[in-house]
Amino acid sequence: MANHKSALKRIRSSETKRLRNRYQHKTTRNAIKKLREADKKEAETLLPTVVSMLDKLAKRNIIHKNKAANLKSKLTKHVAALA
């Protein structure tokens, strides 16, 4: 266990950040799954929100920027290929 006040505060704040990051990451993953299962019209409306979520995760270093770019590319191709 930590002995210093600052270390105790760091433990508390890191746990709060970890939970927030985990929640945002999981929410984005669920949105991606929903987008992949959607029909053409619904997918086209969902795509901008999912892309925005991915950009935010990349900006906050929750996921790597290249991973975000790859996911956006694959999802855009998927939506374009829907009939």
Type of residue numbered 32: I
If you average pLDDT over residues 38-50, what whole number do you get? 96
∠ CA(41), CA(23), CA(47), 5° rounding? Answer: 15
Give CATH for domain 5-81: 1.20.58.110
Q: Is the pLDDT of residue 65 over 80?
A: yes
Residue 83 pLDDT: 75
Mean pLDDT of 50-66: 97
The mean pLDDT value of the chain amounts to: 96
What tens digit of pLDDT does each residue of 25-40 get? 999 999 999 999 999 9
Q: Which residues of 4-40 are buried (b: 16+ CB within 10 A; e: fewer)?
A: eeeeeeeeeeeeeeeeeeeebeeebeebbeebeebee
In whole angstroms, what is the distance from residue 16 CA to residue 54 CA? 21
- pLDDT for res 71: 98
